[in-house]
Amino acid sequence: MPAVFSGLVGLDLSSATFEPFREGVEIARLSGEGDKGETALLRYAPGASVPMHEHTGLETILVLVGSQSDDDGTYRAGDLVLNQPGSRHRVWSEEGCVVLISWAAPVRILGEG
């Protein structure tokens, strides 16, 4: 089960430049490189999802706008989620969302279903 911290502050996203990442998900890279860890903003369109994947390092997610769900629950703006190395989950957003995300190491996609 991930660690979750609620009620954290939001950020101004007006200057972020997003590019395609996955179907329905866009990324604004802030630092790092995908194969060596990375910090970015992810913007999910309503109904967008990411398939089952495994974290090879710590993943830190701060929900800035909307809500994001995974196999353990739904997280809303201001929630901080820590997914430990070796954890696996699917991610989706029914209403759409923007999250600040940091991967300490690459994520392994396990399947599209």
Q: Where are the domains of the chain?
A: 1-9+38-113
Across the chain, what does the average pLDDT equal? Answer: 86
What ranges make up the beta strands (E) of the chain? 3-5, 19-22, 25-32, 38-44, 49-55, 59-70, 73-76, 80-83, 88-92, 97-103, 107-109
> How far, in whole angstroms, is CA 4 from its chain's centroid?
13
Q: Read off the pTM.
A: 0.86
Give the per-residue pLDDT at 92.
97
Residue 53 has pLDDT above 80, yes or no: yes
Give the per-residue pLDDT at 16.
78
Over residues 19-26, mean pLDDT: 94
**Joined tokens for residue 111:** 């399947």
Residue 8 has pLDDT above 60, yes or no: no
Give the per-residue pLDDT at 38.
87
What are the φ and ψ backbone dihedral angles of 105, each rounded to 5 degrees? -155, 165
| Residue, of 11 and 113, whose pLDDT is higher | 11
Give the per-residue pLDDT at 50.
92
How far is 28 from 19, CA to CA, in rounded Å?
A: 6
Q: How confident is the model at residue 37 (pLDDT cuts 50, 70, 90)?
A: confident
Q: How confident is the model at residue 21 (pLDDT cuts 50, 70, 90)?
A: very high
CATH 2.60.120.10 fits domain 1-9+38-113 = yes
The angle at the Cα of 95, spanning 66 to 43, to the nearest 5 degrees, equals 60
**Is the Cα dihedral 48, 52, 57, 61 positive or negative?**
positive
